[in-house]
Amino acid sequence: MCANLAEAIFTIGAEDLAEVIVRKLAAESETIALAESCTGGFLAHRIT
């Protein structure tokens, strides 16, 4: 199953998706912008 879904799988196990996103952005010297209205800043909090 993992082989078939390899392009859609970002993490397996204990690694948090937010950690994966931050690491991938940092490796590429990229940034991310978020616009939140109902989350109370939760998404921004998770990646900072």
CA–CA distances in Å: residue 36 to residues 22, 25, 44, 47: 18, 20, 8, 13
- Radius of gyration (C-alpha) of the chain in whole angstroms: 13
pLDDT band per the 50, 70, 90 thresholds, residue 25: very high
Residue ranges of domains in the chain: 6-47
pLDDT value, residue 7:
84
pLDDT band per the 50, 70, 90 thresholds, residue 30: very high
In one-letter notation, the amino acid at residue 45 is H
pLDDT exceeds cutoff 90 at 31: yes
